[in-house]
Structure 1
C-alpha cells in the first residue's frame, strides 16, 4: 500500500514559524505587508527550486521497478505561458484533457495545479483559483511589486478522470503549490481569504 508521506525539505520549526502566524495574527480585511509578501514568495520559490533541480523522490519497491510517472519530468515552468484570462477568448473547439499550472513567472513560483477534460473551457464560470489569483495580483499592485501570473497547459493528460486526478495530486504533493487546498497548512492561505481554511 502506498503512503502519502512526503519528506519535507523544511524543518518543522520553519513550517510552524511564519506561515501560520500571518493567517491568525492579521486583522480581518488588512493587506499583506510588502516584506511579508516577498518573504512568502521567497520561501515557496526556494522549496520549488529544490524540487526543480533535484531528482524526484520515489518510493522504491523490493520486487518491482517503479514505473516512471510524467510527474518525474514535467516542468510547469517550461510550458508555453498563456494569459490567465485566456478563457475569455473565442475557441473553435473545447480543448483536450490537460493538466494546467498557474505560475508567477516574475517570482518563479508555481501557485496552482489543476486538471481538466476540456482545456479551452475549464475556467469559464466560477473557479476559486480565479479569486486567489486576483487577490495575489492585487497584493502586488498595492505595493508596486512586479507580478506575471500566467497559465500553462500540459496537453498529454489521460482522458480517464481518475488517472488525471491521480497525476494532479502527485504534482500538487511534489511541488506543494500554495493555492491548492492540500498545501494550505504548509504555506498558510493569505490569498484565499486571510484566514486558515480547512
Structure 2
C-alpha cells in the first residue's frame, strides 16, 4: 500500500499521511483557507491526478444509492462512464462575464486544471450561460487555488468545460452530477472534502 493510504470506516481512502499534513498551517477554515507549503501542494495534486488517471482506465463501481430504481437504463439516464470531462471543449473560467445571445441550456460543467490535468469541480445547471453570474462558492475556491500557486511560483491553467446533453429535468440531472462527483472524486465538491482534506474551501 502506498504511503499515506489508510482505509477508514466508510471504506474510502484517506489520502494524506501525517508527513503531508505537517505541510499545512491551519488558519481556521471559517476565516482563511489552509496554507500549504510547495511540497504539500504538489503532493496533493499528484494524488488526485493519479486517482483520476486510474478512473480513466477502470471506472469505479457505481453506487446503487445514486439512482432510484427504474431510472438507471440508458433510455432515461445518461451513463456517467460515457462522459469524459477532459475531452470536452475548454473554455475560460471567466466565460460568464461575456455577453451571450441566450441563457444557455441544461448542462453539466467541469472545472479543470489543465496543467496536470486534474478535475477540480463538477456542477450542474439549467442555464449554462447564467450559472456562474453572482455568488458561487467555487469561484472562491479557485481564487484560493490560484493564489497559492502564485505564492509558490507554480503554474496552473484553470478552465471550464460544458457537457450540453444533460437531462433537462432537475432530478435526473442532479443524479448524474452526483454519479460524476463520486466517480472522479473532484476535490472542490463538498462530498469529497474529507476524502482529499481539501484546503481551499475556507475563507469568505
TM-score, normalised by the number of residues in structure 2 = 0.80
Counterpart position of 1:159: 168
Instruction: Identify the match of residue 117 of structure 1 among 122, 126, 130.
Output: 126
- 1:21 deviates by 6.8
Matched ranges for 1:27-106 at <5 A: 27-28=26-27, 31-58=35-62, 67-68=73-74, 69-106=78-115
1:129-164 CA-partner distances (Å, limit 9, x unpaired): 000011001111111111001000000011100111
- Preserved contact between residue 19 and residue 186 of structure 1 (Cα < 8 Å): no
**1:149 and 1:104 mapped to 2: Cα distance?**
4
Structure 2: gaps spanning 5 or more residues = 65-69
SS of 2:104 mapped into structure 1: coil
Aligned match for 2:192, one of 178, 183, 194: 183
* RMSD value, Cα: 2.6
Cα distance in 1 between the residues matched to 2:185 and 2:136: 20
Secondary structure at 1:170 match in 2:
helix
Is the 8 Å Cα contact of residues 20 and 187 (structure 1) preserved in structure 2? Answer: no
Runs (4+) of structure 1 moved beyond 4 Å? none
* Distance in 2 of aligned mates of 1:164 and 1:23: 39
